[in-house]
Amino acid sequence: MRLRLQVLVALVTFSSITGSLAYKPVVILHGILSGAESMASLVREIEEFHPGTIVYNCDKFSGWYSLENAWRQVDQVRDYLNEVGKLHPEGIIVLGYSQGGLLARAAIQSLPEHNVKTFISLSSPQAGQYGTSFLHLIFPDLAAKTAFELFYSRVGQHTSVGGYWNDPQRQDLYLQYSEFLPLINNEKKTSNSTSFKMGMVRLNKLVMIGGPNDDVITPWQSSHFGYFDENMDVIPFIRRPIFTSDSIGIRTLQEAGKLIIVVKPHVHHLAWHTRRDVIHEVIFPYLD
């Protein structure tokens, strides 16, 4: 009911100004250990410079609840996107920040008949995470080299981070225990593998944003599907199997001119959605 009231208020307000919708609705998903309020700066910029845009600032799994199992969160985000999409048959834009970008991507893949036109992944660990700078808030004594002992276990898989923790030197354990990232990346084949790919190639535009001074996403190239190999060298996404085998449709999108890679230096992880100049440079061009 609250979602429908939000739409009605927005439509009435905007129609009184222009009588028509100029921009597609935007759904925003926050990152880990935060909530919808953390995306307020981005919402304000969109509403100011794209007046009349209907913005859905998703408040699901805020704060500590963002650590819940990744699939549990994806199930609710999927239903949320499906409901919003039905309200806007013209299509919607989805922007997911940090962990929210990974959950949003999985939700889109779980909706092979979605009407998401553009998906913007804003500094999200799409190929996984192997850095503990942000985890010290939760697990003060956790180190990257030993984190697998926690995350590659039944207990660890109950946490969202455990679902996308990707230890490059323990790939056997990653594939054995991880119940989330290997599935949505089609590294482990399931009955959903085909539909996961269909959900991606249905996009009109996939925008991947990240940069070398992020200091949280590790390696930062994970925001573009790049990742460490077993020697801790970062392999660009175009040389990784997820692209060369086109397992989830990234190569298909690139060949169709629908994949956009944005590399922006001198932006810390917490600034992608708060710095006005960054918002206008790397996000606004794709809110059409």
What residues are annotated to the active site?
98, 214, 269
DSSP conformation letters of 71-97: HHHHHHHHHHHHHHHHH-TT-EEEEEE
Q: Within 38-147, where are the H helices?
A: 40-49, 70-87, 99-109
The residues, ordered by sequence, that sit 6+ positions from 261 with a Cβ below 8 Å of its Cβ are 208, 224
Dihedral angle sign, alpha carbons of residues 77, 78, 83, 85: positive
d(CA 33, CA 31): 7
Phi and psi at residue 30, in whole multiples of 5°? -75, 175
d(CA 39, CA 31): 9
Structure tokens of 264?
């922006």
Specify the 3-state DSSP secondary structure of 58.
Answer: strand
d(CA 167, CA 201): 28
Structure tokens of 201?
């190639």
The residues, ordered by sequence, that sit 6+ positions from 100 with a Cβ below 8 Å of its Cβ are 28, 29, 30, 31, 32, 58, 124
| C-alpha closest to that of 208 among 275, 109, 125, 108 | 125
Q: What are 210's strand-pairing partners?
A: 263
